[in-house]
Amino acid sequence: IDLRTLRKPLFKYTSCVAHTHPVSQTSCWKLKVQCHTRAFTKRLVCLWICGSVGLCLWICGSNVFFNHFQDSVNEERVAHVLAEACIRMHLAEERVCRNITELFRDDVIWALQKSLLWPSEACALLVGPSCGKFDLYAPWNITLPKVPKPPVIPPSAPAAGSPQNRVLFLTDIHWDQEYAEGSAADCKDPLCCRNDSGTPSWRRREAGYWGTYSKCDLPLRTVEHLLQHVAKSGPWDWVYWTGDIPAHNVWAQTRAQQLSELTVITRLIHKHLGPNVTVYPAIGNHESTPVNSFPPPSEHGNRSSAWLYNTMAEEWAPWLPEQALKTLRYGGFYTLQIQPGLRLVSLNMNYCARENFWLMVNSTDPANQLQWLVQVLQASEDKGEKVHIIGHIPPGLCLGSWSWNYYHIVNRYEGTIAGQFFGHTHTDEFQMFYDEETLTRPLSVAFVAPSVTTYVNLNPGKKGSLEEVTVC
Ligand SMILES: [Zn+2]
Ligand SMILES: [Zn+2]
How high is the ipTM of this complex? 0.99
pLDDT at 74: 67
Q: Report which bound ligand comes closest to the CA of 285.
A: 2
Q: How far is CA 257 from CA 116, 178, 260, 393, in A?
A: 33, 12, 5, 23
Average model confidence (pLDDT) across the chain: 83
pLDDT at 49: 60
Distance, in Å, from the CA atom of 78 to the CA atom of 252, rounded to the nearest integer, reads 19
Q: How far, in Å, is the centroid of ligand 2 from the Cα of 308?
A: 16
pLDDT at 7: 30
Q: Report which bound ligand comes closest to the CA of 455.
A: 1
Residue 13 one-letter amino acid: Y
Q: How far, in Å, is the centroid of ligand 1 from the Cα of 265?
A: 15
- For the sheet containing 429-434, what is the strand order? 334-339, 342-346, 386-390, 417-422, 442-448, 429-434
User: From the annotation, which residues make up the binding site?
Assistant: 172, 174, 244, 285, 392, 424, 426
pLDDT at 472: 36
Instruction: CATH 3.60.21.10 in the chain: give the residue spans.
Output: 164-179+217-470
Contact of 420 with 396, CB cutoff 8 Å: no
* Residues sharing a CB contact under 8 Å with residue 327, sequence separation 6 or more, in sequence order: 333, 334, 335, 372
Contact of 100 with 86, CB cutoff 8 Å: yes
Distance, in Å, from the CA atom of 254 to the CA atom of 267, rounded to the nearest integer, reads 20
User: From the annotation, which residues make up the binding site for Zn(2+)?
Assistant: 172, 174, 244, 285, 392, 424, 426
pLDDT at 234: 86
Q: How far, in Å, is the centroid of ligand 2 from the Cα of 466?
A: 24
Q: What is the pLDDT along the chain (472 residues), one digit of tens a residue?
A: 232 332 332 222 222 222 223 333 333 334 443 444 446 666 666 666 656 655 554 444 333 434 444 556 667 777 787 788 778 777 778 888 888 888 888 888 777 777 766 666 776 766 666 666 665 435 789 999 999 999 999 988 889 988 899 999 999 999 999 999 999 999 989 999 999 998 877 777 899 999 999 999 999 999 999 999 999 998 999 999 999 999 999 999 999 999 999 999 999 999 999 999 999 999 999 999 999 999 999 999 999 999 999 999 999 999 999 999 999 999 999 999 999 999 999 999 999 998 898 988 888 999 999 999 999 999 999 999 999 999 999 999 998 899 999 999 999 999 999 999 999 999 999 999 999 999 999 999 999 999 999 998 888 887 764 344 444 3
Contact of 65 with 34, CB cutoff 8 Å: no
* Residue 240 host element (H or E): strand 238-241
| CATH class label, 164-179+217-470 | alpha beta
Q: How far, in Å, is the centroid of ligand 2 from the Cα of 356?
A: 12
Q: How far, in Å, is the centroid of ligand 1 from the Cα of 379?
A: 32
pLDDT at 469: 45
Contact of 420 with 446, CB cutoff 8 Å: yes
pLDDT at 116: 67
Q: Report which bound ligand comes closest to the CA of 246.
A: 1
